[in-house]
């Protein structure tokens, strides 16, 4: 792989971006304008919102609750968050949304996951011995029926598993020839896993996961560390592509989409609501004073998009 940055620039960039910023910004480039795209909750929704604002203005966004063709102006706290109604073309029912997806009308979906195996089968239900998560939330149906699935995650070694504790979202199943078709799945399967330590794609023949793209500061040692995290013989693409770092516009967009830093800020005590509580003041003036600080930051972010 070739790199256009100097060692000094790489060192500076390496710690400049958070995991969420890297994953969401790289993920936002995975969609095409005028596609119908299903957006999940959390950083997967941030990803499609950034894409619509910067790259795919005519994309038609959908959510599990049935919002269709909405503006995507802020992060959503649930599939039925009223923010999804802003600018929506229509609000249909849950049944209607899944019917449309099974009919092949949804080109792509953006989801999260907890575990994944080498064939792109994912788990968001249960981790042994006693960790229970939210479950499918529609993810099982979506992964079966959407044209392709883009997973956006914060990298963790425990994410990669030889055998899942539970398969919530089918990928390429056992990797066999036409495995999805034989199982009656109408969707195309997982397209990629976008993380803060690279993008993983799937070999068209073997259907095995391949590390295909990395950020410019990732060196051979980092790649070897990723290989050691994965419990199978992870293949590396012969020509690793370089992922462009987040741009100023992308950084500004993610600030606008998550003004409360619900997903952008990992440290809960640094979020606006926490700052207000930790200030020790519960009077209206405290809310106004601290609110003004965060509004100023949001206005600064807007300038980068004008």
CATH number, domain containing residue 77? 3.40.1080.10
- Name the nearest CA neighbour of 72 among 295, 274, 257, 286: 257
In a domain, 161, yes or no: yes
Q: How many domains does the chain have?
A: 2
283 and 228 within one domain:
no
114 and 76 within one domain:
yes
32: domain range?
Answer: 7-260
In a domain, 106, yes or no: yes
Structure confidence at residue 292 (pLDDT): 72
Contact 76, 263 (CB under 8 A): no
Contact 149, 169 (CB under 8 A): yes
91 and 44 within one domain:
yes
106 and 85 within one domain:
yes
94 and 56 within one domain:
yes
In a domain, 273, yes or no: yes
- Name the nearest CA neighbour of 145 among 182, 101, 192: 101
Coil, strand or helix at 226: helix
114 and 232 within one domain:
yes
Residue 26: half-sphere exposure toward Cβ, Cα within 13 Å: 30
Q: Say how far apart CA 57 and CA 75 lie, in whole Å.
A: 17
In a domain, 1, yes or no: no
The token pair at 229 is 């995290």
Query: What is the mean pLDDT, run by run of 10 residues, along the chain of 306 residues?
Result: 78 89 97 95 90 95 91 78 84 92 95 96 90 83 96 96 96 94 96 98 96 96 97 96 95 84 66 64 68 70 68
Structure confidence at residue 261 (pLDDT): 73
Structure confidence at residue 132 (pLDDT): 85
Contact 187, 159 (CB under 8 A): no
Contact 38, 108 (CB under 8 A): yes
Q: Could you tell me which residues come within 8 angstroms of residue 81 by beta carbon, excluding any fewer than 6 positions away? A: none
221 and 100 within one domain:
yes
Enter the pTM of the model.
Answer: 0.88
Structure confidence at residue 173 (pLDDT): 97
176 and 118 within one domain:
yes
279 and 200 within one domain:
no
Structure confidence at residue 287 (pLDDT): 64
In a domain, 135, yes or no: yes
CA distances from 278 to 80, 207, 266 (A): 30, 50, 17
């Amino acid at each position: 792989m070739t790199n256009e940055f100097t060692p000094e620039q790489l060192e500076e960039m390496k710690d400049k971006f958070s995991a969420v910023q890297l994953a969401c910004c790289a993920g936002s480039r995975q969609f095409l304008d005028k596609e119908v795209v299903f957006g999940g909750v959390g950083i997967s929704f941030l990803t499609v919102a950034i894409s619509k604002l910067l790259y795919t203005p005519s994309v038609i966004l959908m959510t599990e609750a049935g919002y269709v063709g909405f503006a995507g102006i802020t992060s959503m706290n649930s599939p039925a968050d009223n923010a999804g109604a802003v600018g929506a073309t229509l609000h249909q029912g849950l049944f209607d949304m899944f019917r449309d997806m099974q009919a092949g009308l949804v080109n792509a979906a953006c989801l999260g996951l907890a575990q994944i195996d080498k064939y792109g089968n994912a788990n968001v239900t249960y981790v042994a011995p006693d960790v229970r998560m939210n479950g499918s939330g529609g993810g099982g149906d979506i992964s079966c029926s959407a044209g392709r699935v883009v997973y956006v995650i914060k990298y963790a070694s425990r994410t990669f598993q030889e055998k899942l504790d539970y398969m919530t979202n089918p990928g390429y199943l056992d990797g066999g020839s036409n495995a999805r078709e034989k199982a009656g799945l109408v969707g195309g399967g997982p397209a990629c896993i976008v993380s803060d330590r690279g993008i993983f794609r799937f070999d068209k023949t073997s259907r095995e996961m391949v590390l295909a793209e990395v950020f410019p500061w990732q060196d051979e040692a980092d790649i070897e560390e990723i290989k050691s995290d994965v419990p199978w013989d992870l293949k590396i693409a012969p020509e690793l592509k370089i992922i462009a770092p987040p741009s100023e516009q992308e950084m500004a967009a993610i600030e606008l989409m998550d003004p409360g830093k619900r997903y952008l800020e990992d440290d809960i005590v640094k979020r606006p609501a926490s700052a207000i509580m930790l200030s020790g003041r519960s009077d209206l003036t405290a809310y106004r004073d601290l609110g003004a600080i965060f509004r100023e930051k949001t206005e600064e972010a807007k300038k980068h998009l004008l």
